[in-house]
């Protein structure tokens, strides 16, 4: 099937890379089995997805690798080059001598020679393998930006990834990277949706040439850390009903109209297809204003995963 996702979202990086504006997310809780995930990825490629977002901690790298191999084998794609694959450096490996081994481990899992984009997952370092959540605060520290980012740059220079970036970084932490980077971050992947609009961060990133990619565009419904507040939002329901669209489509279109790309997760074939059907219509000025004034509430924070620490939060 012909890819119907625009390749218009520019990644302003050392490599001048571009990427599809919608990626399929693969983080799930509770986790799905590898066979189910592999089948969902093959189905997504058939539906037109070309951008897949994974991370070491998701446990989805190996099923994605198997799905890519199957898609090539049955002719859904002719070359790995047709896909855009993002993975992330987990906090346990966020120190300079572990970054390259970590990306190589992800590449082995994915059965790939290179990534299109490699992100620092959080600006945090865990002192050892996580055995429980929330992570004990004594096992968590802020990463050494200078040395870890230098190792990320080396990943790109070695051809292990085409571009590098970050995830869940504030403008303050981005400023630290920009003050010392030889290769600036191409992307900042953050929570962004109509109920957490990230206006200031989005404007900051635009000004610095950093592309914003939105995770949790639907509020991470059905996960340990998410909730249903987006789907329960009366204003979003009214806009969706008036336009004959789903609430998910309204949210995804809103993110797209902010100039960001979006990571949307669904393993349901119908919803996968619906999530791609956002490019032949737009939100009106009045609808955008209704969304602009919605009460804001962040869903995902470091407190979701680690024990409360005012000292640590003050550094982020």
DSSP per-residue string spanning 217-275: TT--TTSSS--STTTT-HHHHHHHHHHT--HHHHHHHHHHHTT-EEEE----HHHHHHH
CB 47 within 8 A of CB 286: no
Distance in angstroms (rounded) separating the CA atoms of residues 11 and 19: 7
Q: How far is CA 280 from CA 4, 93, 290, in A?
A: 11, 42, 21
The residue annotated as part of the active site, out of 49, 58, 114, 256, is 58
The pLDDT of residue 300 is 77
Question: Is 0.85 topped by the overall pTM?
Answer: yes
The pLDDT of residue 181 is 97
* Residue 282 half-sphere exposure toward CB, CA atoms < 13 A: 6
Domain ranges of the chain: 7-314
Cis, bond preceding 218 (omega within 30 deg of 0): no
- Could you list the pLDDT tens digit for every one of the 316 residues in the chain? 444 677 655 565 566 788 999 999 999 877 899 999 999 999 999 999 999 999 999 999 999 999 999 999 999 999 999 999 999 999 999 999 999 999 999 999 999 999 999 999 999 999 877 777 788 888 899 999 999 999 999 999 999 999 999 999 999 999 999 999 999 999 999 999 999 999 999 999 999 999 999 999 998 665 555 678 999 999 999 999 999 999 999 999 999 999 999 999 999 999 999 999 999 999 999 999 999 999 998 887 777 778 877 788 888 8
Residue 49 appears among annotated catalytic residues: no
Distance in angstroms (rounded) separating the CA atoms of residues 299 and 316: 17
The pLDDT of residue 35 is 96
| b/e per residue 300-315 (b: at least 16 CB within 10 A) | bebeebbeebeebeee
211 labelled binding-site residue:
no
The pLDDT of residue 3 is 46
Which H, E and C letters describe 109-134, residue by residue? Answer: HHCCCCECEEEECCCEEECCCCCCCC
CATH fold of the domain at 7-314: TIM Barrel (3.20.20)
Q: 140-142 and 124-126: which strand pairing? A: antiparallel
CB 75 within 8 A of CB 42: no
- Residue 295 DSSP label: P
Distance in angstroms (rounded) separating the CA atoms of residues 168 and 216: 11
The pLDDT of residue 7 is 62
**Which 3 state secondary structure label does DSSP give 37?**
helix
């Amino acid at each position: 099937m012909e890819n119907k996702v625009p390749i218009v979202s520019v990644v302003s990086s050392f490599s001048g890379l571009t990427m599809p504006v919608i990626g399929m997310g693969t983080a799930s809780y509770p986790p799905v089995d590898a066979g189910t995930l592999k089948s969902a990825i093959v189905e997504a490629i058939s539906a037109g997805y070309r951008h897949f977002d994974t991370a070491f901690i998701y446990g989805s790298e190996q099923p994605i690798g198997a799905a890519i191999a199957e898609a090539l084998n049955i002719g859904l794609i002719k070359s790995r080059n047709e896909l855009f694959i993002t993975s992330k450096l987990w906090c346990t490996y966020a120190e300079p001598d572990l970054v390259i081994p970590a990306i190589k481990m992800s590449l082995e899992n994915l059965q790939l020679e290179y990534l299109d984009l490699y992100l620092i997952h959080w600006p945090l370092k865990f002192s050892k393998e996580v055995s429980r959540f929330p992570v004990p605060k004594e096992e968590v520290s802020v990463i050494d930006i200078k040395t870890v980012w230098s190792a990320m740059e080396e990943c790109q220079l070695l051809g292990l990834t085409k571009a590098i970036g970050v995830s869940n970084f504030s403008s303050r932490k981005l400023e630290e990277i920009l003050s010392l980077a030889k290769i600036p971050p191409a992307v900042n992947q953050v929570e962004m949706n109509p109920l957490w609009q990230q206006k200031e961060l989005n404007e900051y990133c635009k000004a610095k040439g950093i592309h914003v990619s939105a995770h949790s565009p639907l509020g991470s419904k059905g996960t340990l850390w998410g909730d249903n507040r987006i789907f329960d939002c009366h204003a979003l329901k009214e806009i969706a009903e008036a336009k004959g669209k789903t609430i998910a489509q309204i949210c995804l279109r809103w993110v797209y109209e902010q100039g960001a790309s979006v990571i949307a997760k669904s393993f349901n074939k119908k919803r996968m297809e619906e999530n791609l059907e956002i490019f032949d219509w737009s939100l009106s000025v009045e609808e955008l204003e209704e969304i602009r004034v919605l009460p804001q509430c962040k869903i995902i924070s470091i407190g979701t995963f680690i024990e409360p620490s005012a000292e640590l939060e003050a550094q982020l």
